Amino acid sequence: MSISSFDFDSRRASEDVGGGGFAIRPSFAKKFNQRVANDIIKQILSDRLKDAIYDKDQAPGWAREIAEEIKKKLLELDLSKYKYVVNVTIMENKGEGARMQCQCYWDSDTDNIAQEVFTNDSLICVAVAFGVYLY
């Protein structure tokens, strides 16, 4: 494929930095902001689960719906060239400990993670959102 036949994605063209070049990294205002994402997640978990009672049959559906809602709200931030991975886990609150761990290899200048834990007397919900910049 020759350079002249390469079709630039319209999203990339909108990030033209002048002089015919393209931005390699997002501007500070267009980076994934952990605090903003945490606030979004916290609000969604509180709204959806404040009166919830754990039910092993409904928990998978709740987790899927909450993950979709978080992803939708993150997309509304309109951070071009970001991809999101959202993981929601709901478990019964029996007073036992639990530990979750994840590891990522990414660009610490552009990529970030937001996480919130919601608990009530019946359940524990852990929601994690990864914002990964697509070069």
Tens-place pLDDT, residues 41-94: 999 999 999 999 999 999 999 999 999 999 999 999 999 899 999 999 999 999
Is 129 a domain residue?
yes
At residue 57, the pLDDT reads: 97
Number of structural domains the chain divides into: 1
Is 90 a domain residue?
yes
At residue 16, the pLDDT reads: 44
Is 30 a domain residue?
yes
At residue 6, the pLDDT reads: 38
CA distances from 47 to 42, 51, 55 (A): 9, 9, 17
CA distances from 95 to 59, 63, 115 (A): 18, 20, 21
Tens-place pLDDT, residues 83-119: 999 999 999 999 888 888 888 899 999 999 999 999 9
Give me Rg for the CA atoms of the chain: 19
At residue 115, the pLDDT reads: 96
Is residue 28 pLDDT above 50, yes or no? yes
Domain limits for position 70: 26-133
Is 53 a domain residue?
yes
At residue 20, the pLDDT reads: 57
Is 8 a domain residue?
no
Is 68 a domain residue?
yes
* Selection from 117, 123, 83 nearest residue 100 by Cα: 117
Per-residue burial over 82-113, b if 16 or more Cβ lie within 10 Å, else e, is bebebebebeeeeeeeeeeeeeeeeeeebbbb
CATH code of residue 126: 3.30.1140.40
Is 33 a domain residue?
yes
Q: What is the pTM of this model?
A: 0.81
At residue 44, the pLDDT reads: 98
What φ, ψ does residue 24 adopt, rounded to 5°? -85, -35
